[in-house]
Amino acid sequence: VVKREVVQLITPGTVMEGRGLQDKENNFLATISYFDDEMYGFAYNDLTTGEGKATLISGNFDDVLNEVSILGAKEVVIDSKFDIELQKKLRDRNVMALSFEDSSSIDRSFSHLLEELHQEALKKTVSRLFHYLYRTQKRSLDHLQPIKMYEIQQFMKIDYFSKRNLELTETIRSKGKKGSLLWLLDETRTAMGGRQLKQWVERPLIDQKQIGHRHSLVELFIHHYFERQELREKLNEVYDLERLAGRVAFGNVNARDLIQLKKSLSQIPFLRQILLSLNSEVSNDLADRLDPCEAVTDLLENALVESPPISVKDGNMIRDGFNEELDRYRDASRNGKTWIAQLERMEREKTGIKSLKIGYNRVFGYYIEVTRANLHLLVEGQYERKQTLTNAERYITPELKEKETLILQAEEKSGELEYELFTQIREQVKEYIPQLQALAKAVSELDVLQCFAQVSEERHYVKPQFSKDRKIVIKDGRHPVVEKVLDSNEYVPNDCFMDNEREILLITGPNMSGKSTYMRQIALSSILAQIGCFVPATEATLPIFDQVFTRIGAADDLISGQSTFMVEMLEARNAIVNATKNSLILFDEIGRGTSTYDGMALAQAIIEYIHRKIGAKTLFSTHYHELTVLEDELLKVKNIHVSAIEHNGKVVFLHKIKEGAADKSYGIHVAELAELPKELIKRANELLNQFEQKQQLLEASNMT
């Protein structure tokens, strides 16, 4: 009876290879600890790359949920006594598995990974994660990087709803990457770069110096077209160093993986050289971080052949000359084979049978084969008959069998030795994991920055300026994704101007005209600016926003039981409660989900509240024409509208934003475009006229 032990538990958050893993996406395992003083510890780790971070979040579990969503963590490790209600909330955020780990003691085996953390709560939070990892993985986790501390306040905050509404990393409709901002941006050349890009898109910066540093490099790359193309070509040859390092630590790399590692490392000197040739401080700094790890390259170059097989047990991995003992076995085997080739030649000469050949098969080993027609040419007694075929006989001789034994034994031993040598090489590479990880980090940053340059140049983006006095000046701004999908000559760019006198823009206009697109493009431009990319405009000055809030139409969720209007109000509340003077709010048709008058009342109350209490930059689109009078009542509210013209009795949307309120409504025209029956359209026009006359009479009667 063989005793079987569990050697590894593979969970959604600890998948190391195979179908569950996307090249350009991290696979984060997260953990949450609750501490007495209304504080949550949050930490995460990607087992494939070894990267991990931790933070403390005060009071608000929504902020914790937000972190889980940003990471797209599929598994969260918690204490088995973790609050049931909060567990349910986690499950609602697409967490596939909640796993339990009760120990959060700081163990010596991983204390070196906690050195950058100073608070006890942080250390405990991370310890729970490590206890869980060691318990499930039961093996070397040498590639784990020291956990870094971060604070959610260091980044622009974009809540779950807004991230979804703005389609930053996936579209609302298909939940796929295609059509998202990430999809538009992804000109990265390496898998690591792809993951870094996603992380940056999820967490725009708010520190002007950090943003400026990225912009400088992007600008530099834009101005050096040929160098950039060269960088891109070289990056193409760099494999996933981060995950290779992880697999080295895990012990599941083969010789081909190590050859990939070597090839990747051999690109690094070229990358350095190109960066240095740009002769700028920022690129020199980046070049300095590109350590080619020559010791690893040399080792692998000397040890491994160029095209080793997939299996590590079949030999043919190690170069001749690397190991004396191995060379001896190989000589023996090769000599044996040469001897057999010579024997074939000799036997042909001796017997005069030109078709005589020496073959090998599994059952009989090496044999001499002679066709039936030539049998009479063989000298009797020298050959032992082993097998009869239709047209030939097969023979062996004692010398042949002797050499055969020699060859087979040498092959067996050299295979074993190669495996042993390979294991040693792998262990040596393991020593360099920290350097490889630092290198991977630098390469991925380089990759994302060249990607920003590539997209910015191709799509004619401009370097944004940052305004200290919260001013927005966008000339010829575009929605980056819609612009890409439409033909460029179909797309109508739009300006945006907001300052201390124009805090809230009230947008009216028909529904097909692109109000939401306009609102979204302002938010996306700010996000692009703050992740370090250029923005789709000919001129752009922007504040640095601390938060972005959106309430933009979403689909009913029949099953979850929350109606559109409740979701609408929850999203509105989230913005109103958390926004500051430095935030950006997009409200699309707030109040539409209920009946006319109380919807209108709510919309107006919300505008007044933002105007008086918050002062955040706000774009508010509405169908309630009645609200446009607010421009006269509230100082910082301005009306803008989307223009349309009538042409041959049909309506043409110009998708152009203009000052002032829209002066007509176009619903019936859209109905006409959709070819509803003519008499129905005629009747609707009659009714509209009646309604409008009534309203005019009402206003004339001076009751407004």
Shortest gap between Cβ of 345 and its own copies (angstroms)? 25
Q: Among 654, 377, 413, which residue's Cα sits nearest to residue 512? A: 654
User: Among 227, 327, 565, 629, which residue sits at the site for its own copies (rule: CB under 8 A)?
Assistant: 565
Nearer to its own copies, 15 or 681 (CB): 681
- Quick one: which segment of 165-173, 198-206, 310-318, 329-337 binds its own copies (CB under 8 A)? 165-173
x/- binding map, residues 121-160, to its own copies, per CB under 8 A?
Answer: ----------------------------------------
What residues numbered 658-677 form the site for its own copies, per CB under 8 A?
665-668, 670-671, 673-677
What residues numbered 286-345 form the site for its own copies, per CB under 8 A?
none
DSSP 4: P
What residues numbered 9-38 form the site for its own copies, per CB under 8 A?
none
Shortest gap between Cβ of 1 and its own copies (angstroms)? 20
- Quick one: which segment of 6-14, 112-120, 128-136, 550-558 binds its own copies (CB under 8 A)? 550-558
What DSSP assignment string belongs to 623-656? S-GGGGGHHHHSTTEEEEEEEEEEETTEEEEEEE
HSE at residue 178, side-chain half, CA atoms within 13 A, is 2
Assess 485 for contact with its own copies (CB under 8 A): yes
Shortest gap between Cβ of 243 and its own copies (angstroms)? 23
Q: Is-contact 503 611, C-beta < 8 A?
A: yes
CA dist., res. 367 & res. 356, Å (int): 11
Tokens of 518: 């306009």
What residues numbered 188-217 form the site for its own copies, per CB under 8 A?
none
User: Among 1, 6, 7, 363, which residue sits at the site for its own copies (rule: CB under 8 A)?
Assistant: 363
Assess 566 for contact with its own copies (CB under 8 A): yes
- Quick one: which segment of 205-213, 436-444, 524-532, 683-691 binds its own copies (CB under 8 A)? 683-691
Assess 397 for contact with its own copies (CB under 8 A): no
Shortest gap between Cβ of 600 and its own copies (angstroms)? 7
Query: 386 φ, ψ to 5°?
Result: -120, -35
* Residues 6 or more apart whose Cβ sits within 8 Å of residue 443: 190, 192, 193, 235, 238, 241, 268, 271, 290
Assess 459 for contact with its own copies (CB under 8 A): no
User: Among 51, 75, 159, 167, which residue sits at the site for its own copies (rule: CB under 8 A)?
Assistant: 167
Query: Helices marked H in 386-432 — which ranges?
Result: 398-430
* Residues 6 or more apart whose Cβ sits within 8 Å of residue 638: 502, 504, 505, 506, 631, 659
Assess 389 for contact with its own copies (CB under 8 A): no
Query: 547 φ, ψ to 5°?
Result: -145, 155
User: Among 570, 635, 645, 654, which residue sits at the site for its own copies (rule: CB under 8 A)?
Assistant: 570
Q: Is-contact 553 545, C-beta < 8 A?
A: no
What residues numbered 405-444 form the site for its own copies, per CB under 8 A?
405, 408-409, 412
Q: What angle do CA 459, 463, 466 make, to 5 degrees?
A: 140
CA dist., res. 436 & res. 58, Å (int): 35
What residues numbered 255-284 form the site for its own copies, per CB under 8 A?
none
Shortest gap between Cβ of 503 and its own copies (angstroms)? 17
What residues numbered 367-386 form the site for its own copies, per CB under 8 A?
386
CA 489 to chain centre: 31
End-to-end Cα, the chain, rounded Å: 92
- Conformational region of residue 65, where left means phi above 0, alpha means psi within -120 to 50, and beta covers everything else: alpha
Cα–Cα distances in Å, from 5 out to 138, 249, 566? 11, 21, 51
Shortest gap between Cβ of 556 and its own copies (angstroms)? 5
What SS3 state is found at 122?
helix
CA dist., res. 187 & res. 450, Å (int): 8
Assess 691 for contact with its own copies (CB under 8 A): yes
Query: 568 φ, ψ to 5°?
Result: -55, -50
Site size with its own copies, rule: CB under 8 A: 99
Shortest gap between Cβ of 369 and its own copies (angstroms)? 16
Q: What angle do CA 401, 406, 410 make, to 5 degrees?
A: 145
Look at the alpha carbons of 50, 55, 60, 66 in this order and tell me if their dihedral is positive or negative: negative
- Quick one: which segment of 129-137, 453-461, 530-538, 561-569 binds its own copies (CB under 8 A)? 561-569
Assess 518 for contact with its own copies (CB under 8 A): no
User: Among 153, 390, 391, 595, which residue sits at the site for its own copies (rule: CB under 8 A)?
Assistant: 595
Look at the alpha carbons of 555, 556, 559, 563 in this order and tell me if their dihedral is positive or negative: positive
Assess 633 for contact with its own copies (CB under 8 A): no
Assess 600 for contact with its own copies (CB under 8 A): yes
Assess 640 for contact with its own copies (CB under 8 A): no
The label of the residue with tokens 């994704």 reads: 481
Assess 243 for contact with its own copies (CB under 8 A): no
User: Among 118, 226, 558, 648, which residue sits at the site for its own copies (rule: CB under 8 A)?
Assistant: 558
Tokens of 697: 């009479």
- Quick one: which segment of 321-329, 338-346, 401-409, 540-548 binds its own copies (CB under 8 A)? 401-409
- Quick one: which segment of 259-267, 274-282, 331-339, 686-694 binds its own copies (CB under 8 A)? 686-694
